[in-house]
Amino acid sequence: MTATIAQPTPKAKPSKLSFLRNIGIIAHIDAGKTTVSERVLFYTGRKHKIGEVHEGEATMDHLAEERERGITITSAATTCEWGKYTINIIDTPGHVDFTAEVERSLRVLDGAVGVFDGVAGVEAQSETVWRQADKYHVPRIAFVNKLDRTGANFRYCVESMANRLGVHPVPINLPIGAEAEYVGNIDLISMKARIFGEGSDETKFVEKDIPEDMLEEAEAARHEMLEAACMIDDNLLERFLEDENQITEKELIEALRKGTIEQKLLVVMCGAALKNKGVQALLDGICSFLPSPLDLPPATGHDRDDEPTERECSVDAPFSALAFKTVYDPNGDLTFMRVYSGSIDAGEQAANTRSRKKERLGRIYRMHAATREPVEKASAGDIIACMGLKDVRTGDTLADPNDPITLESVDFPDTVISMSIEPHSKGDRDKLVQVLSVLAKEDPTFQAFTDDQTNETIIAGMGELHLEVLRHRIIRDFKVAAECGKPRVAYRQTLAKERQVDVTHKKQTGGHGQFARCKVVFKPNPENQEIEFLTEIKGGAIPREYIPSVEKGIRELAIRGGVYPFPFVGFSASLVDGKHHDVDSSDMAFQEAGRLSFREGTKENFVFLEPMMKIEVLVPEENLGDVIGDLNSRRASIGEIADRLNVKVITGSVPIAEMFNYSSKLRGMTQGRGTYSMEPSGYQPVPNSVSAEIVEEQEKLKKEKAGKK
C-alpha cells in the first residue's frame, strides 16, 4: 500500500529554506576546484585534517582512479554548516570528457562558484561550464584562486571574465601583494584588510586597516562596486548620488545579492586555497550572495495530462524530486536526487512519472563524498541519495502518486569517440554485458552497442580519457578479462544533394502478399542535425495509418547508417505520393518501403561528417612555430594567437580524429611546458582524401567479417 507523503515536522519549516544553499564548484581543469572544496570542508568543521589533491587525500576525489590521476572524474556531494547556514556542495570535474557530470549537477543546483586560475584567468573549459550554467540559469559568484603563483594577475583575470564570458564582473576584494608576496585581501564592503597566516597558524587571519599605499586604489574600486550595486537598486542610486558614504554594508550586500540572483553582475572574490587564503570570506560570500531555494522561481514541469504546471519549493506542496545521478552498488544502486517540493519519509513510495510505476524509498542518505549518513526524511531543497530503487534513470521524476509532475530532464551531448572491446571467454562476455549495462546507467554519455558489420562490442564516450577511465573500470574494478582496440571516431553522414525516389515493395508468398509504394523527396538540411519527416499525401494515396510506418522504416535505417555504419543526420524526408493495396498492404510492407526509399535516396549520395573540437593550446613562445606546424599537419584551423603573460595561446578548431595521443606529442615539443584543452564544437564534412580513407577502412572491415564467416 502506498504511504501518504509525509507531513512537515517542526524541524522542516519553510523558513529554514532561506538558510540553505545548494551550490556547485565549477571550473577549468586544474583551477583548484577540489582544493577549494577541501578547504571549505575544513573550515566548516566537516573534517579535521586538510586533504591535498596532489597527495591523493582529497575527500571529494574518493575513487581510486581520481586519486591516482589527481583529477575529479565524478561529481561528489557533501553537506556542511557555516554559522546558521547549511551548504550542500557538489564538486564537479573540470575535464571536458566528463562534462555529463557538470551538466547533471548544474541542472539541480541553485547557485555555483566559478573558480579561476589566478595566472590563466578564463580558460577554454571555463567557457564551457559557464555556458552550461547559463543553460540552466544558475546564479554564480567567482573566486580567483592561486594568487600566490608566479605570474598571478587579479586584474587580468577580472578583465578576461568580462571579455570571454560576457559578464559584468564586480570585485568585492582586492589582493594585498602579488605572487609569493600575496598576504591578504582588502574587503571593499567593510573597507578592512584581512592578513592571512600571521603567527603560527596559517589557517587564521587578522583584520587590520587598509595599507596606506593601497587606500586610493581601494577607494576607487569601492566606488566602482557601489556604482554596480546602485544599477540594481534605484533607491540606492538616489542616495549614492547624494552621498555614497551613507549606504550601509547591509544595503550593499542586499543589492549585490539581488544582482547575482538576477545574473546582472558577477561578484568576484579572490584567494589562494592551497595556502588557506580567502576561504572563510568565500564561505561568507556563498551565504551572502548565492540564492536559497526560496529565491528562485518554482520548478516547472508537466502534469499527468501533459499540461504545464509548477511546484513551489515548500514542504507543504506535493512531493517531487529529480533523479540526476545513479551509482552502481552491488547491494542496490544509489540514486542521487534533488527534492524540489514536499517531503517524504524513508520507506514511503513515490511515483516514477516515466515508467508510471511506484518506487519505495527504502533508505535515504545524506552524502559526504563516499560516506553515507542515514536520514529519516527528505524535504524540499534537500540533495539526497536513495538505495534500492528498481527502475529509476538519470532525468526521471519521482512525485506524489496522487499529484504527479514530470520535471524538466537533463540533456547530454552525443559521443564522439569509440573503441572495440573483446572479452577473453564466454564467461567474461556474459559478465561484460552486465557491466556495460551498469556503466550506461551510471553515465549517460557512455554507450555500448554491437557493430553490425564486425559483430564486435563497441563502447563510445566523450574522449580518449573518458574511454581510458571506462576501460580501467571494466578490467580492473569489475574484473572482466578483455582486450580493447584502438579508439575510433564517431563519424556521421548526411545527404550530398536532394534526391526524389519512387520505390515499390512487392512480395507474393501465397495467401496475403506485401505491397507498398512510396515516393519520397530527400533533402539535406545542414542547419539542423535532426531528421525531419514530412508528409504531403493527398487523396488517401497511402492510408493515414501506414504513414508512420514509412517514417519508422526511414528512421530505423538512418540510425543504422545505410551502406556504412554511421548514423545519418541533418536531412528531411517528404512523403509526397504512393500507392497501397486493399489486401496486401500492411504496416510491415510500408516499413520495408520506407527502408527501400532510404537506400535509394542515399545510394552514392552521402557525405561523411566528423566531430570537430574547439582547441586552446598554451605554449612557450620559443615553441610556437613547432606547435603551429604540428597543428596544421593535423588539419587544424587556427583562429587566433594571443599573449597571456609569458605564454602564447593558440585557439582554433581541429578534427578529433587527428588528436589521438596529442598530449604526449605536445609535451615532447615543449619539454613538458605546453598544455591544451578541447571541447566538442559540432560536425563538419570530411575532405575527399579522408572520405576515401574511411571507405577503404570500412570495406576492409567488411572483408574481414566475410572471412570470419
Binned at pLDDT 50, 70 and 90, residue 282 comes out as: very high
Q: List the 371-375 sheet strands across, edge first.
A: 357-360, 349-352, 397-399, 320-327, 334-341, 383-387, 363-368, 371-375
**From CA 28, how far away is CA 411, in angstroms rounded?**
21
Mean per-residue pLDDT of the chain: 86
Asked if 560 and 597 count as a contact pair (C-beta separation under 8 A), the reply is no
Q: Tell me, letter by letter, the H, E, C secondary structure of 310-345.
A: EECCCCCCCCEEEEEEEECCCCCCEEEEEEEECEEE
Q: What is this structure's pTM? A: 0.76
Q: List the 308-311 sheet strands across, edge first.
A: 308-311, 299-302, 406-407
Which CATH fold would you assign to the domain 608-687? Answer: Alpha-Beta Plaits (3.30.70)
Burial 321-340 (b: 16+ CB within 10 A, else e): bbbbbbbbeeeebbbbbbbb
What is the bridge-based pairing of β-strands 377-379 and 343-345? antiparallel
Give the pLDDT of residue 97.
Answer: 65
Give the pLDDT of residue 11.
Answer: 39
Q: Which of 38, 28, 76, 74 is nearest to 58 (CA)?
A: 38
For residue 114, pLDDT beyond 80: yes
Give the pLDDT of residue 94.
Answer: 59
What is the bridge-based pairing of β-strands 531-535 and 675-685? unpaired
HSE (side-chain half, CA atoms, 13 Å) at 225 = 28
For residue 6, pLDDT beyond 60: no
Mark residue 90 as left, alpha or beta (left: phi above 0; alpha: psi -120 to 50; beta: remaining). Answer: beta
Averaged pLDDT, 500-513: 84
Question: Tens digit of pLDDT for each residue in 544-553?
Answer: 999 999 999 9
Per-domain residue ranges of the chain: 17-187+260-294, 299-407, 418-490, 497-604, 608-687
**From CA 31, how far away is CA 496, in angstroms rounded?**
44
Question: Tens digit of pLDDT for each residue in 549-592?
Answer: 999 999 999 998 888 889 999 999 999 999 998 888 899 999 99
Looking at domain 497-604, which CATH architecture does it have?
Answer: 2-Layer Sandwich (3.30)
Instruction: Note the helical H segments in 526-636.
Output: 547-560, 587-602, 624-633
Question: Tens digit of pLDDT for each residue in 402-423?
Answer: 999 999 888 787 788 888 899 9
CA–CA distance from 219 to each of 196, 226, 243 (Å)? 22, 10, 14
Q: Which amino acid is at 212?
A: E
pLDDT above 90 as % of the chain: 50
Averaged pLDDT, 276-300: 94
Averaged pLDDT, 430-436: 92
3-state secondary structure of 221: helix
Give the pLDDT of residue 45.
Answer: 83
Q: Which amino acid is at 484?
A: C
Give the pLDDT of residue 69.
Answer: 52
Asked if 276 and 13 count as a contact pair (C-beta separation under 8 A), the reply is no
Q: Examine domains 17-187+260-294 and 418-490 and report if their fold is the same.
A: no
Give the pLDDT of residue 54.
Answer: 42
**From CA 339, how far away is CA 397, in angstroms rounded?**
10
Contacts 24+ apart (CB under 8 A), 533-540: 533/572, 533/573, 533/574, 533/575, 534/572, 534/573, 534/574, 534/575, 535/574, 535/575, 536/574, 536/575, 536/576, 536/577, 537/575, 537/576, 537/577, 537/578
Question: Tens digit of pLDDT for each residue in 195-207?
Answer: 987 655 667 888 8
Give the H/E segment covering residue 104: helix 99-108
Residues 6+ apart with CB under 8 A from 372: 334, 365, 366, 385
Q: List the 514-524 sheet strands across, edge first.
A: 499-507, 514-524, 571-579, 531-535
The answer to which of 115-129, 447-461, 674-688 has the lowest mean pLDDT is 447-461
CATH of domain 17-187+260-294: 3.40.50.300
**From CA 282, how far away is CA 35, in angstroms rounded?**
13
For residue 4, pLDDT beyond 70: no
Place of cell 547549511: 86
Looking at domain 299-407, which CATH architecture does it have?
Answer: Beta Barrel (2.40)
Tell which wins on pLDDT, 355 or 201.
355
Q: What's the grid cell of residue 326?
A: 545513479
Instruction: Note the helical H segments in 139-245.
Output: 154-165, 215-230, 234-242
**From CA 28, how far away is CA 116, in angstroms rounded?**
7
Place of cell 574522449: 463
Binned at pLDDT 50, 70 and 90, residue 2 comes out as: very low
Angle between helices 249-261 and 279-289 (to 10 degrees): 70
Binned at pLDDT 50, 70 and 90, residue 74 comes out as: low
Q: Is 1 exposed, middle or buried (0-12, 13-18, 19+ CB in 10 A)?
A: exposed
Asked if 640 and 614 count as a contact pair (C-beta separation under 8 A), the reply is no
Averaged pLDDT, 260-277: 95
Question: What value, to the nearest 5°, has the Cα angle with vertex 456 and ends 709 and 440?
Answer: 155
For residue 12, pLDDT beyond 50: no
Per-residue DSSP letter, 177: S
Give the pLDDT of residue 565.
Answer: 86
Q: Which of 616, 613, 546, 618 is nearest to 575 (CA)?
A: 546
Binned at pLDDT 50, 70 and 90, residue 73 comes out as: low
Q: Which of 160, 274, 171 is nearest to 218 (CA)?
A: 171
Cβ–Cβ contacts within 10 Å for residue 370, how many? Answer: 11
Looking at domain 418-490, which CATH architecture does it have?
Answer: 2-Layer Sandwich (3.30)
| Residue-by-residue DSSP string for 20-32 | EEEEEEEESTTSS
Question: Tens digit of pLDDT for each residue in 615-647?
Answer: 989 898 999 999 999 999 999 999 999 887 678
3-state secondary structure of 442: helix
Asked if 571 and 531 count as a contact pair (C-beta separation under 8 A), the reply is yes
What is the bridge-based pairing of β-strands 571-579 and 531-535? parallel
For residue 707, pLDDT beyond 70: no
